[in-house]
Amino acid sequence: MKCFVSLLISILLLPGLAMAREISGIVSDESGQALPGVNVMVANTSRSTITDVYGYYTIEFKPQDQVLIFSFIGMDTEKVRVTDQNRIDVVLKASAMDMEECVVIGYGSQKSFRASRSSSNIRIRGVATAGKQPAEWNTENYATVHENGFKDVGVNPLSTFSIDVDNASYTNVRRYLNQGQRPPKDAVRVEEMINYFSYDYPVPEGEHPFSVSTELGSCPWNPSHYLMQVGLKGKSFDKSELPPSNLVFLIDVSGSMSSANKLPLLKRAFALLVNELRPQDRVAIVVYAGAAGIVLESTPGNKKEKIMETLENLQAGGSTAGGAGLKLAYKIARENYMQNGNNRIVLATDGDFNVGVSSTSEMERLVEIERESGVFMSVLGFGMGNIKDDKMETIADKGNGNYAYIDNIQEARKVLVSEFGGTLFTIAKDVKFQLEFNPQQVQSYRLVGYENRLLNDEDFNDDTKDAGEMGAGHTVTALYEIVPAGNITGKVVVDPLKYSKSIPSTGDYADELLTIKWRYKQPDSKKSTLMELAVSNELAEENTADFNFAAAVASFGMWLRGSEFKGCTTPNQILELAKAGRGKDKAGYRSEFIRLVQAFNGFGLYVDVVTPNE
């Protein structure tokens, strides 16, 4: 009897004594193509992961676990019973069934959206399919950019602007170049190209949410001038330290979203984001086409299967009532508002609004009113051929948010996984800069880019004026081309001022090149904090990799625009500068830029852009 009892106890305790193990493998489709972004979940638990760009996954599996579930939008879900194997490779099959009809209910009415079988089962495999399926027409809209010129310090000693963390322009430019085309001139916003990349600026210390640093060197495209880099680095947080999120996914399901690089890619992108959610986070889903409606009430982040299922059932069809969608999304965000939390709408669209409130100015007024509720905005642009870049940029800028363009699943992973904190969590808002140049040291200056972020000098001290937002872990870079005092070639000719006061050439500040002031607000505050930094007239003996790389991107952007300020640089100089600035490049984004410049040169597209007046 004693032996029997001992044996029984051993059997009962054995599962508890067994160790958890890791199961790994590769998920692919029927053609053998690896599938990134596949959701892998242990059944009846909250443990899950997603496959990487090579379709590889690894997940913890405990003794009491029995089944792994593999799910992917547009493919049949696969359930695998696990015995003693540690390696499980899975092949997913394309779904043979039409997606069920999705009924959207909003404002007391019902509207059904349905897509054809051919469009609902299209899959994106992590490649830039935009280049493989060119649109038959092009109605893309971009706001006109009038490049900043040189300002005479004697007349304009102050330069005031708002920071910009958007990076949509670089991704869009990359899309054009990957198709062998030169992008439209106004699609090239140089500051967004520079800020696509992260830089190794000093980590902020103390109570302030970001650091500010500068570096001064010779200007690569005009060696007689200086180039000054102003860098911001936001505080980084571990995912567990971030506040809870109240998110509203606002998804465009109109007919213009039916192509492969729009709604199908959008679903996979949001699946990556859903996988990042924690139990304390909540998500609601609002869609809009001919009308707007709620397809998922605010749901905890650990109910991933329910959220994924709602995403899978979305289909495209109808016109585009973007204004109604925005109003409803703000309403849902306010109803589920989290004090001391992250309240944000994530809008995914091609920006092609054509019903109700649809003009850029109407959208701007709508978002300006709604942002006072404390709800921030992230805009994700998708597709090609009819992108309304000007509308999406306006909504993000006026909605206290950021704007990214997603052309493939790798870009979705960068924006929604790698840069999760910076994309969704604001650490400072209304960040403004004002630089005062010393006329004894500086003859004239030019801010490179930021044309749509310029502020009046008096706006700097006005806390009611909107400015840019800083995300957790984000870096922001601004470049100034500076003409030192006494430089004859860079002199800006203006009439002498009749009433100006003479400025002493000696004193405590005579050796200072300029002074930088900046203001910012805490995310929940209406009063700004003022900071200040003096910059001496000392060029670095050897510039850093970050300085060289930012200069290379700026120079390339000016080449693409056919800028009158591109100076004496050549394609080879851009390449050499970019290579000198490649640095460690763990994620490979700088190497990709170098390949892009090489490809652009290979296309024979390095030609001056001649305007009709010329």
For 35-54, the pLDDT digits (tens) are 777 888 899 887 888 787 67
394 falls within a domain: yes
In tens, the pLDDT along 463-517 reads 999 999 999 999 999 999 999 998 866 666 677 776 766 555 556 677 899 999 9
Better-scored residue on pLDDT, 175 or 129: 175
CATH number at residue 584: 2.60.40.1230
Q: d(Cα 176, Cα 170) in Å, to the nearest integer?
A: 10
Residue 599 has pLDDT above 90, yes or no: no
Q: Same structural domain for residues 417 and 434?
A: no
Residues 422-455 have pLDDT tens digits of 778 999 999 999 999 999 999 999 999 999 999 9
Altogether, the residues listed in the chain come to a count of 614
Supply the pLDDT for residue 602: 63
- Which H or E run contains 604? none
The DSSP symbol for 129 reads G
Domain membership of residue 419 as a residue range: 239-424
Res 587: pLDDT: 83
Tally Cβ neighbours within 10 Å of residue 339.
Answer: 8
Output b/e per residue, 518-557; b: 16+ Cβ within 10 A.
Answer: bbbbebeeeebeeeeeebebeeeeebbbbbbbbbbbbbbb
Of the residues 72, 92, 112, the one at which a domain ends: 92
> What average pLDDT does this structure show over 352-376?
74
| Cα–Cα distance, 241 to 278 (Å, whole number) | 11
Task: Using the predicted structure, report yes or no on whether residue 611 has a pLDDT greater than 80.
Answer: no
What whole-number distance in Å separates Cα of residue 411 and Cα of residue 405? 8
Domain contains 502: no
φ, ψ at 255 (rounded to 5°):
-60, -30
* 135, pLDDT greater than 50: no
Helix (H) or strand (E) holding 157: none
Average pLDDT score over residue span 395-403: 84
Label each residue of 247-310 as H, E or C. EEEEEECCHHHCCCCCHHHHHHHHHHHHHCCCCCCEEEEEEECCCEEEEEEEEECCCHHHHHHH
Is residue 498 packed enough to be buried (19+ CB in 10 Å), middle (13-18) or exposed (0-12)? exposed
Q: Can you give the C-alpha Rg of the chain in angstroms? A: 27
Give domain status of residue 609, yes or no.
no
- Say yes or no: 386 and 295 in one domain: yes
Arithmetic mean of pLDDT over the chain: 83
Most confident of the following: 75-84, 226-235, 334-343, 489-498: 226-235
Q: Does the pLDDT at position 606 exceed 60?
A: no
Would you place residue 30 in the very low, low, confident or very high pLDDT band (cuts 50, 70, 90)?
Answer: confident
Q: Pick the more confident residue, 291 or 349.
A: 349
Question: Does residue 477 lie in a domain region?
Answer: yes
Tokens matching residue 115: 């897509």
Q: Are the CB atoms for 394 and 402 separated by under 8 Å?
A: no
**For residue 554, what pLDDT is reported?**
97
- How many Å separate Cα 55 from the centre of its chain? 24
Asked if the structure places residue 409 within a domain, the reply is yes
Residue 10 placed within a domain: no
Q: How confident is the model at residue 111 (pLDDT cuts 50, 70, 90)?
A: very low
Same domain (yes/no): 377, 458: no
The residue among 92, 120, 142 that closes a domain is 92
Identify whether residues 302 and 356 lie together within a single domain.
yes
> Are 170 and 303 within one domain?
no
- Cα pseudo-dihedral 103, 105, 111, 116, rounded to 10: -30
Query: Which CATH number characterizes residue 38's domain?
Result: 2.60.40.1120
288 and 217 co-located in one domain: no
Domain presence at residue 416? yes
What are 537-590's pLDDT values in tens digits? Answer: 999 999 999 999 999 999 999 999 999 999 988 888 999 999 999 998 888 899
371 and 279 inside one domain:
yes
Yes or no: say if 148 and 191 are a contact pair by the CB < 8 Å rule.
no
250 and 368 fall within a common domain: yes
Does one domain contain both 293 and 341? yes
Q: What is the pTM of this model?
A: 0.75
In this structure, are residues 301 and 279 in contact, taking their beta carbons and an 8 Å threshold?
yes
Position 320 pLDDT exceeds 50 = yes
**Are 37 and 50 spatial neighbours (Cβ–Cβ below 8 Å)?**
yes
Q: What CA–CA distances, in Å, run from 38 to 58, 75, 90, 125, 312? A: 12, 10, 11, 11, 13
CATH number of the domain where residue 315 is located: 3.40.50.410
231 with 248, same domain: the answer is no
**Number of structural domains found in the chain:** 3
pLDDT at 610: 39
Give the percent of the chain with pLDDT over 70.
Answer: 82
Tens-place pLDDT, residues 226-263:
999 999 999 998 888 889 999 999 999 888 888 878 88
pLDDT category at 358 given cuts 50, 70, 90 is low
Longest dimension (CA), the chain: 112
- Which of 398, 424, 450 is a domain's end point? 424
Same structural domain for residues 542 and 445?
Answer: yes
| 388 membership: H or E segment, kind and range | none
* 232/263 same-domain check: no
User: Does residue 261 lie in a domain region?
Assistant: yes
